[in-house]
């Protein structure tokens, strides 16, 4: 606030203003004390200490020159030490700190797996007629593969959606009493640490919040590809694409119904790039439900701990989103067209990603990885699973991944028909704890107490000085040049004026010329005195007061 800034400015002036006020008040009080003490009779040393101690340095210097530390001198030291201490205290009484406002904000996020059956049944793979959504899904899939390695390894995807780690990779973590396992942020440096190249869209996180936290439920596909085969390739009926293996019997048809073996819906293959053989792995698919705790700081969000889902943990992990034949067929059919080449033969970037090429769409300047045959078992499971999760999540609601989703209320509507008509997702509700930090002024009470103590001492010193001044009857002559003119036989002045104060006497004598000189200039041994002279520029022969010489002795 403006008031706070003004107060802050004033406190910065404290180290300058406080010593000035202290010197003015304490110095005058000490002069009044010396005057009062002198009226009653006092030692010259005491009076000299009182008159010389007008500043911090003067107090120290007078003690050194007197060559003796007295009780009066010690107390003067303590008094003047309060001057810099009080100045520093005034600078330090006001500080800044951070206060926190905590609020609860409503969120909505994309459901995955079987968390929302209506959403599952209306995903883009539920109908093969949704060409626009298919193109959108493929475009986003390509964008995720094209993303820089740094973005592939981040806790958020290139659009800011929150990525979910593999809970299987946390086996070494110790769960707390609630089952949460901490995510070691330092270890989350690879795309293989996350279940998908894209995250889950979350609607409702306030842009103005400094920090927020919430938990979210999600599901992902986990692969266990144990068996591997090398099959011959005759080129007459194999199709080199990522898709369901069908028993094709009709000429140039890519897919031909009817099919006889129901297990074909759980089979797909990748072209290995070899002309004479096909590399096949038999994969078991399970669906893992997890709960993730998300922390966001200044817009950057990351999952910081996970546990198996308490809400969906009772669901059979063997019942996956791939059980529905139409969705399975459409997913693999569209994924074969993900390069938008107009044919299904070129799936090499997907294969290269599984092999470990950082930028699978750019082969120039990169060392080609080993054959897909050499990809380790665990790595193959993670990378293929990540790609399948990526494509499946994008296909749920491809319009929801690139941002601009608005408020969470329209994703939590009771009328689910309106949601799907607007191409939105039927969101899962969540509550986020939102922290907003703001700067406040705080008082340092230790320094405030020191400042008050110094100020009280200064106030009492000033009051005592005023009281003593009121009791004084003598003129104020101590510590002034004019004081040396009182009853001085070497001053040619008219009689009287002894009751005048030193400053009043100085005003009257302001044009009188004086010199500290030798009043016995004609003698072999001189005498130093404060004396009157006729002319400032007079020579020794022209005046009775001579100038002091180094080659002459003086009494």
pLDDT per position in the chain (555 positions), as tens? 788 788 888 888 888 899 999 989 998 898 888 888 877 787 777 777 888 788 888 888 877 877 777 788 888 888 888 999 999 999 899 888 888 899 999 999 999 988 888 777 777 787 755 567 778 888 899 999 989 888 999 999 999 999 999 999 987 678 899 999 999 888 888 999 999 999 999 998 887 778 999 999 999 999 998 767 666 655 544 444 444 544 444 444 444 444 444 444 455 555 444 445 667 788 889 999 999 999 999 889 999 999 999 999 889 998 888 888 888 888 887 786 665 454 444 446 888 888 887 777 765 556 666 677 788 889 999 999 999 999 999 988 888 898 888 788 777 766 555 555 555 788 899 999 999 888 888 889 999 999 999 999 999 999 999 999 898 887 777 777 777 778 888 888 888 887 887 778 778 888 888 888 888 888 889 888 888 887 665 555 556 788 888 888 988
In a domain, 554, yes or no: no
φ, ψ dihedrals at 71, nearest 5°: -60, -40
Considering the domain architecture, whether residues 245 and 389 belong to the same structural domain is answered as: yes
Considering the domain architecture, whether residues 285 and 324 belong to the same structural domain is answered as: yes
**Cα gap 398→161, rounded to integer Å:** 13
Q: Which of 307, 267, 261, 306 is nearest to 285 (CA)?
A: 267
Considering the domain architecture, whether residues 448 and 434 belong to the same structural domain is answered as: no
Considering the domain architecture, whether residues 131 and 19 belong to the same structural domain is answered as: no
DSSP state, residue 161:
P
Q: Before 197, cis peptide (omega within 30)? A: no
In a domain, 271, yes or no: yes
> What pLDDT is attached to residue 234?
55
β-pairing, 514-518 vs 528-532, is: antiparallel
Contacts of 348 (CB under 8 A, 6+ apart): 271, 273, 360
In a domain, 528, yes or no: no
Give all strands (DSSP E) within 233-354, no chain letters: 243-244, 268-269, 277-297, 300-308
Considering the domain architecture, whether residues 48 and 155 belong to the same structural domain is answered as: no
Would you state the structure tokens that stand for residue 332, as one six-digit string? 């693999």
In a domain, 127, yes or no: yes
Q: Which of 415, 438, 461 is the last residue of a domain?
A: 438
> What pLDDT is attached to residue 417?
54
Would you state the structure tokens that stand for residue 115, as one six-digit string? 């968390």
β-pairing, 300-308 vs 181-182, is: antiparallel
Q: Which of 331, 378, 269 is nearest to 120 (CA)?
A: 331
**Cα gap 23→303, rounded to integer Å:** 61
Considering the domain architecture, whether residues 296 and 367 belong to the same structural domain is answered as: yes
Considering the domain architecture, whether residues 413 and 450 belong to the same structural domain is answered as: no
| Residues of the domain holding 357 | 101-438
In a domain, 260, yes or no: yes
Neighbours of 296 (CB within 10 A): 22
**Cα gap 486→473, rounded to integer Å:** 17
Considering the domain architecture, whether residues 196 and 63 belong to the same structural domain is answered as: no
In a domain, 429, yes or no: yes
Considering the domain architecture, whether residues 40 and 107 belong to the same structural domain is answered as: no
Contacts within 8 Å (CB) and 24+ apart, 550-553:
552/518, 552/525, 552/526, 553/524, 553/525, 553/526
Q: Could you identify the residue written with the tokens 């959108």?
A: 136
In a domain, 537, yes or no: no
Considering the domain architecture, whether residues 85 and 187 belong to the same structural domain is answered as: no
- Is this prediction's pTM over 0.95? no
> What pLDDT is attached to residue 257?
45
In a domain, 156, yes or no: yes
Considering the domain architecture, whether residues 142 and 50 belong to the same structural domain is answered as: no
Contacts within 8 Å (CB) and 24+ apart, 529-534:
529/488, 529/490, 530/484, 530/485, 530/488, 530/490, 530/491, 531/488, 531/490, 531/491, 532/490, 532/491, 532/492, 532/493
Find the helix or strand (DSSP H, E) in which 213 lies. strand 211-232
Considering the domain architecture, whether residues 192 and 65 belong to the same structural domain is answered as: no
Would you state the structure tokens that stand for residue 153, as one six-digit string? 């390894």
> What pLDDT is attached to residue 136?
86
DSSP state, residue 318:
T
**What total number of domains does the chain contain?**
2
């Amino acid at each position: 606030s403006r008031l706070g800034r003004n107060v802050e400015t004033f406190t910065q002036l404290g180290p300058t203003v406080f010593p000035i006020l202290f010197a003015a008040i304490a110095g005058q009080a000490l002069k009044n004390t010396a005057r009062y003490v002198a009226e009653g009779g006092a030692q010259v040393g005491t009076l000299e200490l009182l008159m010389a101690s007008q500043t911090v340095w003067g107090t120290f210097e007078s003690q050194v020159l007197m060559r003796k530390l007295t009780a009066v001198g010690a107390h003067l030291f303590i008094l003047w030490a309060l001057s810099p201490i009080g100045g520093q205290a005034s600078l330090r009484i006001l500080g800044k700190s951070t206060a926190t406002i905590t609020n609860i904000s409503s969120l909505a996020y994309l459901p995955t797996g079987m968390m929302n059956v209506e959403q599952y049944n209306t995903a883009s793979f539920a109908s093969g007629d949704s060409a626009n959504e298919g193109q959108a899904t493929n475009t986003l899939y390509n964008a995720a593969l094209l993303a820089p390695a740094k973005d592939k390894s981040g806790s958020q995807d290139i659009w800011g959606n929150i990525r979910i780690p593999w809970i299987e990779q946390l086996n070494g973590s110790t769960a707390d009493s609630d089952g949460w396992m901490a995510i070691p942020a330092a270890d989350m440096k690879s795309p293989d640490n996350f279940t998908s190249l894209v995250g889950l869209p979350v609607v409702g996180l306030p842009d103005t919040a400094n920090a927020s936290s919430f938990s979210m439920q999600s599901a992902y596909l986990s692969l266990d590809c144990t068996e591997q085969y090398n099959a011959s390739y005759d080129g007459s009926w194999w199709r080199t694409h990522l898709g369901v293996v069908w028993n094709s019997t009709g000429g140039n048809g890519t897919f031909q119904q009817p099919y006889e073996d129901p297990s074909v819906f759980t089979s797909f293959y990748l072209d290995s790039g070899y002309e004479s053989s096909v590399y096949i792995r038999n994969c078991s698919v399970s669906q893992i439900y997890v709960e993730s705790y998300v922390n966001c700081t200044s817009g950057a969000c990351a999952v910081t701990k996970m546990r198996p889902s308490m809400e969906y943990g009772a669901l059979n992990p063997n019942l996956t989103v791939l059980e529905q034949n139409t969705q399975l067929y459409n997913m693999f059919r569209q994924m074969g067209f993900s390069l938008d080449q107009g044919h299904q033969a070129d799936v090499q970037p997907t294969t290269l990603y599984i092999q470990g090429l950082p930028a699978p769409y750019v082969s120039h300047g990169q060392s080609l990885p080993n054959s897909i045959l050499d990809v380790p078992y665990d790595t193959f499971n993670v990378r293929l699973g990540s790609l399948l999760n990526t494509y499946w999540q994008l296909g749920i609601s491809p319009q929801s991944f690139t941002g601009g989703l608005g408020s969470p209320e329209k994703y939590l509507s009771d009328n689910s028909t309106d949601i799907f008509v607007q191409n939105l997702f039927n969101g899962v509700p969540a509550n986020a704890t939102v922290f907003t930090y703001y700067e406040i002024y705080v008082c340092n009470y230790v320094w405030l107490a020191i400042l008050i103590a110094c100020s009280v001492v200064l106030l009492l010193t000033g009051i005592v000085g005023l009281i003593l001044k009121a009791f004084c009857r003598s003129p104020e002559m101590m510590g002034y040049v004019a004081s040396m003119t009182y009853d001085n036989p070497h001053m040619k002045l008219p009689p009287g004026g002894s009751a005048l104060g030193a400053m009043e006497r100085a005003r009257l004598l302001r044009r009188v010329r004086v010199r500290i000189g030798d009043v016995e200039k004609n003698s072999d041994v001189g005498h130093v005195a404060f004396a009157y002279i006729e002319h400032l520029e007079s020579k020794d022969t022209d005046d009775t007061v001579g100038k002091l010489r180094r080659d002459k002795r003086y009494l």
